[in-house]
Amino acid sequence: MHAESALLDQVAEAAAASIEDVDTAALPGFMRQLDQAALLAMARTLGRNGLFRPGLRHRCDQVADRLRVAPRHRWILRRWLTVLHDEGLLHRDDATGFLHDLRAVRRSEVADAAATVHEAARGLGYPAEMARFFLAAFDQLPRLLRDEVAVQTLLFPDSDLSTAEGAYQDNVINRYLNAAAIEMLRWECQHTAAPLRVLELGAGVGGTTAAVVPALADEAVHYLFTDVSQFFLDAGRRRFGDRLHYRILDINADALGQPGSADVVLAANVLHNSVHIGHLLNRLRDLLAPGGLLVMIESCREHYQAMTSMQFLMSSRDGGPQPGTSDVRAGTDRVFLTRDEWLGELTAADYAPLLDLPNPVHPLAALGQHIFAARTRTTTDDRSSHER
Ligand SMILES: C[S@@+](CC[C@H](N)C(=O)[O-])C[C@H]1O[C@@H](n2cnc3c(N)ncnc32)[C@H](O)[C@@H]1O
């Protein structure tokens, strides 16, 4: 057994040092500004064409029909209606479920919100492209809902990845989380027989890869960069070259690999795409060697600004199952699990949770993203009782 308390101290120190120039107390306010702007954008989209004129009331499916929301995006509309209600911008009759009295949004509020999006994005360390992306998505919400425009065309204009890189790399919370991930992997290199076999899932634009790989340059590592999309594999190959290995891997459909064939699974902002979290955690546990490490970064709260932008990437295509419909998220249309749900799922899948940052009382926690690390057991004797 490793001296893991030393590891945890080392990780927490490195993560804190990566953002020592940041006024963390200001971060929750910036996050709230983004949330408010997104709520207004939702309300403005739903209020078009007098849909919620005083006296009118609708059920959720009627709103979807009137706005001609594409079937695959209807879960997003349902989430909007829920959060607008929870935030007091829309009324719902508890007895009938009818929705009415949507908060009207003035044109001047929309202009003010645009300014706050720029300020908030800057405060959170996002590049200007990111604020432009959020605002472009606000403008396109009716067409995004109808599936007449793909959010990819806004996020990757002319196949340019810089906006997406800003989402996962060049910002305060990702700097912090990536610094923690680097320390975890460095430690594993020093305490595991060489080479360390790392499987990265959903590596995408490589925000986490780009942080971790250079930090391990002097270590013996076999690093497998995977994603469901060939587009990202090609971009990864151009960016990281022959030092890494590459493979298409769909966490819902493909075999993950031979049992015990990975020492570390690294998954940044991807595991929520699994159709059933518990089943996936079980499969990853079996893939990992005994005592192996699962390191994952996940959003543990719903960002309203993501609900008006990134979440359009998460609607399943071609009638495939929508992530979460049969697991702990069933019946909620939520994509993300809460921190407590993740810890519960890890324990239920027989991992030993090791690390979970930031601390829930730290101002960074308001940003919602967490890093979790958990180990598989070193013996397999007691696993079967935990299978679902
Ligand atoms: C939110 S992005 C995360 C990007 C990346 N991890 C980073 O840090 O830059 C999610 C990534 O997961 C990938 N993805 C989505 N569904 C997946 C699936 N079923 N299996 C594997 N990867 C998937 C997407 O293609 C995308 O690259």
Domains and CATH numbers, the chain: 4-21+170-386 (3.40.50.150), 24-159 (no CATH)
Residue 349 vs residues 239, 384, 385: alpha-carbon distances, Å: 35, 10, 10
Segment 334-352 mean pLDDT: 96
Segment 172-185 mean pLDDT: 96
pLDDT of residue 169: 66
pLDDT band, very low/low/confident/very high, at 383 (cuts 50, 70, 90): very low
Residues lining ligand 1, Cβ inside 6 A: 168, 201-208, 227-229, 232, 249-252, 268-270, 273
pLDDT band, very low/low/confident/very high, at 248 (cuts 50, 70, 90): very high
Give the whole-number percent of the chain exceeding pLDDT 70: 94
Phi, psi of 221 (to 5 degrees): -135, 135
Higher local confidence (pLDDT), 165 or 137: 137
Segment 13-38 mean pLDDT: 95
How buried is 126 (Cβ within 10 angstroms: 0-12 exposed, 13-18 middle, 19+ buried)?
buried
Checking if the pLDDT of 386 tops 50, the result is no
pLDDT of residue 187: 95
Instruction: Name the one residue in this structure whose structure tokens are 């594409």.
Output: 70
pLDDT of residue 146: 97
b/e per residue 185-218 (b: at least 16 CB within 10 A): bbbbbeebeeebbbbbbbbbbbbbbbbbbebbee
Task: Compute the distance from residue 272 Cα to the ligand 1 centre, in Å.
Answer: 9
Tokens of 147: 């599936």
Nearest residue CA, atom 4 of ligand 1? 204
pLDDT of residue 380: 52
pLDDT of residue 368: 94
Nearest ligand 1 atom to the CA of 274 is 19
Specify whether the backbone of 385 is left (phi greater than 0), alpha (psi in -120 to 50) or beta.
alpha
CA angle 122, 124, 127 (to 5 degrees): 45
Nearest residue CA, atom 26 of ligand 1? 204
Task: Compute the distance from residue 111 Cα to the ligand 1 centre, in Å.
Answer: 33
For 160, which DSSP code? -
pLDDT band, very low/low/confident/very high, at 3 (cuts 50, 70, 90): confident
pLDDT of residue 320: 77
pLDDT tens per residue across span 138-171: 999 999 999 999 998 998 877 777 777 766 667 9
Task: Compute the distance from residue 118 Cα to the ligand 1 centre, in Å.
Answer: 26
Nearest residue CA, atom 17 of ligand 1? 228
Instruction: Pick the range with the lowest mean pLDDT from 169-178, 259-268, 366-375.
Output: 169-178
Mean pLDDT, the chain, integer: 92
Segment 200-208 mean pLDDT: 95
227, 230, 231: which to mutate for ligand 1, most atoms within 8 A of CB? 227
Q: Assess contact for 245 and 267: CB atoms under 8 A.
A: no
162, 173, 234, 270: which to mutate for ligand 1, most atoms within 8 A of CB? 270
The amino acid present at 134, given as its one-letter code, is F
Higher local confidence (pLDDT), 168 or 312: 312
Nearest residue CA, atom 9 of ligand 1? 207
Nearest residue CA, atom 10 of ligand 1? 270
Instruction: Name the one residue in this structure whose structure tokens are 């009207």.
Output: 104
pLDDT of residue 385: 38
Nearest residue CA, atom 14 of ligand 1? 202
Give the integer Cα–Cα distance in Å for 305 and 102. Answer: 19
Q: Assess contact for 171 and 126: CB atoms under 8 A.
A: yes
